[in-house]
């Protein structure tokens, strides 16, 4: 699987074989629990970083479901990625509150700094740049989220300093 | 320990309260989502260090709470029993506050709430206009108690309603009480909760489900997030009561993936409840059993709609389907299912505990109780507020919200999210309840209020 090699998630320390073994064991636990496909996909993405077609096929087999169903679910939800993501994921909130307080200016500035557009990953694999629907921190708008960390009242000129903390 | 009856709860309450009474002060640090991103963690660490330095760690209790509501001024800290409220606290400021307030007994006024209009500091939280006009039912414990402690919840009469319902009330009586209270769904549509529960109770099936919709998707609304993070046990208790009322023994809480802190705190609370025998088999020594599971969404806006939410819990694409059949007829896994929103469920325990009559004294003729609103956008006091139904929009925005920053003019407030409507100046006196707000072309929705000033381009916003 050539595309897996570029996966830069934090679990890159484990080799593929270990990862598959881990996933297979987890799938055994979940297989009999009704409606757990989405939870399994969350886990798989945490282990592998993303969910390419090969992996979807493996999950389909493990869960005893057709590949079409697994693929259908993966492509439906925005949290699931089929291509490798950057080491850090930047999500700019464009919910109405953030929009009113200047979320769009943050997008423009980030495009300049990162040199990529929304939905893309920087060449060095450090950042994936996404837009989020409301993340529920409207009192602090505009906000961005990098991985699990929320940055409040972000101004375009603050962005470079924020990004400099990540490597 | 396993809680078997009301007496066990009362014992825990008394023990907790007497433990707390031994402390000279309680310092409450807001750990709501807003204050977390304002780095309240560093403030708490500095506070702990500072108290240790004075040898006061045993004398003063430091508690991390859920959202206190006034996110714009975070991180915020409340010192009890004095009720002094400090805003925009930093690790440096907290050291000064401890020295002045705790050691020397003098309120450090310059770090308390500043009322710009009246040009004065207001140290006591109960005198601040933002808090004064609020009535807190759903948010009763948010910002008041340690969200991670089941004892703290019990000390506020938590699980008392569950004990009462399960041991003294029939399912029908619980449904009747909710019907009488006039509570309507807080997720948006305002459907009477009691009538929904009655349909659930009457549905005949070997298996029923009770679902909490915590896929708060309405941009600008974050009350459900704050309740889950600040008072998770109130939602769990609401679900136990709902499950009992309709005869469901399995519950799911569907939380959106964007709320990792909520998921974490809720999971801990569920484990604690299970450890205390409040989830599982033979609750309160009856033959009622209730199990609760969290399901995490995966970033699909549509999943807040109940039929797609159920599809998502089943592990499928979250695509909506036609109704009927309604969920109470054919819901999750084809079985009768009752779905309530987080804020609705947080209202249930106090209604059962204090009675429908107590609840229905708040609000208007057809909209009873209170509503939580999330103030966001161009307003001074952004944050969460809970007010009785029927208060005017102007009062919410200008008395509690303190108006528009930088003296700019008010243009409109978007109520009910993108599918709601924008309310302009001439309608500011409209009483806010389900009926009146629809009359002026907006909807209550889940209670998001996004304020726009004269500079906001309405076309762009749309």
**pLDDT by residue, tens only, chain B of 462 residues:** 899 999 999 999 999 999 999 999 999 999 988 888 889 999 999 999 999 999 999 999 999 999 999 988 989 999 999 999 999 999 999 999 999 999 999 999 999 999 888 899 999 999 999 999 999 999 999 999 999 999 999 999 999 999 999 999 999 999 999 999 999 999 888 999 999 999 999 999 999 999 999 998 777 788 999 999 999 999 999 999 999 999 999 999 999 988 888 999 999 999 999 999 999 999 999 999 999 999 999 888 788 899 999 999 999 999 999 999 999 999 999 999 999 999 999 999 999 999 999 999 999 999 999 999 999 889 999 899 999 999 999 999 999 999 999 889 999 999 987 778 899 999 999 999 999 999 998 888 889 899 999 988 887 776
List residues of chain A with CB under 8 Å from any CB of chain B: 34-39, 41-42, 69, 72-73, 76-80, 95-97, 99-101, 132-141, 143, 148-152
- Of the candidates B347, B339, B340, the residue with the CA atom closest to the CA atom of residue B363: B347
- Of the candidates B165, B121, B214, B132, the residue with the CA atom closest to the CA atom of residue B355: B165
- Of the candidates A164, A23, A162, A8, the residue with the CA atom closest to the CA atom of residue A85: A8
- Nearest by CB to A139, which of B218, B318, B382? B382
The angle subtended at Cα B304 by Cα B302 and Cα B306, nearest 5°, is 100
More reliable by pLDDT, A33 or B348:
B348
* Residue pair B236/B242 in contact by the 8 Å Cβ criterion: no
Q: How far does CA B238 lie from the centroid of its chain?
A: 12
Q: How many CA atoms lie within 13 A of B280 on its CB side?
A: 14
A6 pLDDT tier (thresholds 50, 70, 90): very low
> Would the CB atoms of B450 and A73 count as touching at under 8 Å?
no
Q: In sequence order, what are the beta bridge partners of B388?
A: B370
> Would the CB atoms of B37 and A151 count as touching at under 8 Å?
yes
Give the tens place of pLDDT for each residue, A137-146.
888 889 999 9
For residue A143, what is the nearest residue in chain B, using CA coordinates?
B37
Q: What is the DSSP string of B89-131?
A: --HHHHHHHIIIIIIS----GGGBEEETTTTEEE-BGGGSHHH
* Residue pair B216/B222 in contact by the 8 Å Cβ criterion: yes
> Is the pLDDT assigned to residue A2 strictly greater than 60?
no
| Identity of the highest mean pLDDT range in A13-22, A82-91, B453-462 | A82-91
List chain B residues with CB under 8 Å of A37.
315-316
> Would the CB atoms of A72 and B317 count as touching at under 8 Å?
yes
List chain A residues with CB under 8 Å of B260.
148
Which residues make Cβ contacts (< 8 Å) with residue A71, sequence separation at least 6? A53, A56
- How many pairs of residues across A and B have Cβ atoms under 8 Å apart? 144
Q: Which residue has the tokens 């915020």?
A: B76
Cα–Cα dist A86/A74, whole Å: 19
Two structure tokens written together for B345: 């469920």
Two structure tokens written together for B394: 């102007």
A15 pLDDT tier (thresholds 50, 70, 90): confident
A12 pLDDT tier (thresholds 50, 70, 90): low
List chain A residues with CB under 8 Å of B216.
136
> Would the CB atoms of B461 and A100 count as touching at under 8 Å?
yes
- DSSP letter (8 states) at residue B326: P
CB atoms within 10 A of CB B99: 14
ipTM value of the model? 0.81
- Of the candidates B300, B306, B297, the residue with the CA atom closest to the CA atom of residue A75: B300
- Rounded to a whole number, what is the distance in Å from the CA of B383 to chain A's nearest CA? 5
Cα–Cα dist A101/A86, whole Å: 27
| B206: exposed, middle or buried (Cβ count in 10 Å: 0-12, 13-18, 19+) | exposed
Return the H-helix or E-strand segment holding B435.
Answer: helix B434-439
* Residue pair B240/B276 in contact by the 8 Å Cβ criterion: no
Q: In sequence order, what are the beta bridge partners of B213?
A: B254, B341
Q: Give the C-alpha distances (Å, rounded to integers) separating A153 from A103, A114, A120, A150.
A: 10, 20, 24, 10
- Nearest by CB to B377, which of A39, A101, A137? A101
Cα–Cα dist B313/B321, whole Å: 14
Cα–Cα dist B358/B361, whole Å: 6
List chain B residues with CB under 8 Å of A131.
none
Cα–Cα dist B106/B185, whole Å: 46
Q: What is the DSSP string of chain A?
A: -HHHHT--SGGGGS-HHHHHHHHHHHHHHHHTSTT-HHHHHHHHHHHHSS--HHHHHHHHHHHT--HHHHHHHHHHSTT--SS---SEEEEEE-SHHHHHTTHHHHHHHHHHHHSS-TT-B-TTSSEEEEEES--S-GGG-S-EEETTEEE-S--GGGHHHHHHT--
- Nearest by CB to A35, which of B313, B317, B378? B313
- Nearest by CB to B298, which of A72, A77, A151? A77
- Rounded to a whole number, what is the distance in Å from the CA of B328 to chain A's nearest CA? 19
> Is the pLDDT assigned to residue A10 strictly greater than 60?
no
For residue A76, what is the nearest residue in chain B, using CA coordinates?
B317
> Would the CB atoms of B33 and A133 count as touching at under 8 Å?
no
CATH number for domain A88-164, candidates 3.90.550.10, 3.40.630.30, 3.40.50.300, 3.40.30.10: 3.40.30.10
Give pTM, 2 decimals. 0.91
> Is the pLDDT assigned to residue A62 strictly greater than 60?
yes
> Would the CB atoms of B318 and A150 count as touching at under 8 Å?
no
pLDDT of residue A13: 62
List chain B residues with CB under 8 Å of A42.
257, 296, 298
Q: In sequence order, what are the beta bridge partners of B61?
A: B26
Structural domains in chain B, sorted by start: 20-132 (3.40.30.10), 150-360 (3.40.50.11540), 370-461 (3.10.20.600)
Q: Where are the beta strands (DSSP E) in B123-215?
A: 209-214
Cα–Cα dist B422/B396, whole Å: 15
Which residues make Cβ contacts (< 8 Å) with residue B225, sequence separation at least 6? A136, B33, B216, B259, B262
> Would the CB atoms of A76 and B378 count as touching at under 8 Å?
no
Asked if omega into B376 is within 30° of 0 (cis), the reply is: no
> Would the CB atoms of B382 and A99 count as touching at under 8 Å?
no
pLDDT of residue B457: 81
* Residue pair B221/B385 in contact by the 8 Å Cβ criterion: no
> Is the pLDDT assigned to residue A1 strictly greater than 60?
no
Sheet containing B77-80, strands listed edge to edge, beginning at the edge strand earlier in sequence: B60-65, B25-30, B77-80, B84-86
List chain B residues with CB under 8 Å of A135.
258
- DSSP letter (8 states) at residue B254: E
- Nearest by CB to B299, which of A35, A78, A95? A78
Q: How far does CA B132 lie from the centroid of its chain?
A: 18
> Would the CB atoms of A96 and B72 count as touching at under 8 Å?
no
Question: Residue B186: what are its φ and ψ, rounded to 5°?
Answer: -90, 0
- DSSP letter (8 states) at residue B65: E
- Nearest by CB to A136, which of B216, B300, B301? B216
Q: Which residue has the tokens 């809720």?
A: B266
> Is the pLDDT assigned to residue A7 strictly greater than 80?
no
Q: What is the 3-state secondary structure (H, E, C) of B369-421?
A: CEEEEEEEECCCCCEEEEEECCCEHHHHHHHHCCCCHHHCCEEEEEECCCCCE
Question: Residue B24: what are its φ and ψ, rounded to 5°?
Answer: -70, -40
> Would the CB atoms of B450 and A133 count as touching at under 8 Å?
no
pLDDT of residue B197: 98
Two structure tokens written together for A86: 């950057």
């Amino acid at each position: 699987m050539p595309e897996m090699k570029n996966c830069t998630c934090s679990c890159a320390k484990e080799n593929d074989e270990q990862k598959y073994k881990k996933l297979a064991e987890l799938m055994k636990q979940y297989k009999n629990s009704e409606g757990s496909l989405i939870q399994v996909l969350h886990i798989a993405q945490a282990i592998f970083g993303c969910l390419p077609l090969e992996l979807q096929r493996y999950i389909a087999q493990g869960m005893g479901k057709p590949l079409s169903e697994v693929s259908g679910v993966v492509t439906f939800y925005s949290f699931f990625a089929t291509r490798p993501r950057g080491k850090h994921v930047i999500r700019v909130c464009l919910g109405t509150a953030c929009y009113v307080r200047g979320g769009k200016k943050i997008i423009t500035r980030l495009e300049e700094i990162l040199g990529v557009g929304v939905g893309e990953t920087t060449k060095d694999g450090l950042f994936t740049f996404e837009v989020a629907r409301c993340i529920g921190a409207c009192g602090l708008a505009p906000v961005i989220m990098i991985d699990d960390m929320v940055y409040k009242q972000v101004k375009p000129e603050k962005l470079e300093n924020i990004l400099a903390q990540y490597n | 320990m396993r809680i078997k009856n009301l007496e066990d709860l009362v014992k825990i309450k008394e023990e907790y309260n007497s433990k707390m009474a031994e402390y000279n002060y309680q310092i409450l640090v807001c750990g709501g989502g807003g204050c977390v991103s304002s780095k309240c963690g560093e403030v708490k660490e500095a506070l702990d260090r500072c108290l240790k330095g004075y040898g006061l760690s045993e004398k003063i209790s430091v508690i991390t709470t859920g959202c206190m509501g006034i996110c714009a001024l975070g991180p915020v800290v409340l010192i009890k029993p004095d009720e002094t409220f400090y805003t925009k606290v930093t690790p440096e400021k907290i050291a000064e506050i401890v020295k002045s307030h705790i050691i020397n007994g003098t309120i450090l006024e310059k770090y308390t709430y500043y009322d710009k209009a009246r040009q004065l500091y207001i140290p006591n939280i109960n005198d601040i206009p933002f808090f004064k006009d609020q009535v807190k039912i759903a948010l009763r414990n948010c910002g008041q108690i340690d969200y991670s402690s089941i004892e703290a919840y019990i000390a506020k009469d938590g699980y008392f309603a569950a004990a009462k319902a399960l041991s003294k009330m029939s399912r029908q009586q619980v449904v009747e009480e909710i019907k009488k209270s006039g509570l309507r769904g807080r997720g948006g549509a305002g459907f009477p909760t009691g009538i929904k529960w009655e349909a659930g109770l009457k549905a005949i099936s070997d298996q029923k489900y009770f679902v909490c919709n915590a896929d708060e998707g309405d941009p600008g609304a974050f009350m459900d997030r704050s309740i889950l993070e600040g008072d998770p046990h109130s939602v769990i208790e609401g679900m136990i009561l709902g499950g009992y009322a309709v005869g469901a023994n399995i519950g799911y809480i569907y939380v959106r993936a964007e709320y990792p802190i909520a998921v974490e705190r809720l999971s801990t609370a569920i484990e604690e409840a299970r450890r205390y025998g409040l989830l599982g088999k033979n609750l309160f020594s009856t033959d009622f059993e209730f199990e609760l599971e969290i399901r995490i969404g995966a970033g699909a806006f549509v999943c807040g709609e109940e039929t797609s939410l159920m599809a998502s819990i089943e592990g499928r694409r979250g695509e909506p389907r036609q109704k009927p059949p309604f969920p109470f007829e054919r819901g999750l896994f084809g079985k009768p299912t009752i779905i309530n929103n987080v804020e609705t469920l947080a209202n249930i325990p106090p209604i059962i505990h204090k009675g429908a009559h107590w609840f229905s004294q708040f609000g208007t003729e057809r909209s009873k109780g209170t509503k939580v609103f999330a103030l966001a956008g161009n307003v001074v006091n952004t944050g969460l507020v809970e007010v009785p139904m029927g208060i005017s929009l102007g009062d919410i925005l200008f008395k509690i919200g303190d108006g528009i920053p930088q003296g700019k003019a008010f243009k409109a407030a978007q109520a009910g999210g993108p599918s709601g409507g924008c309310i302009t100046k001439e309608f500011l006196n409209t009483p806010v309840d389900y009926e009146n707000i629809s009359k002026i072309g907006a909807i209550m929705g889940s209670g998001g209020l996004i304020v726009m000033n004269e500079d906001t381009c309405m076309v762009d916003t749309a």
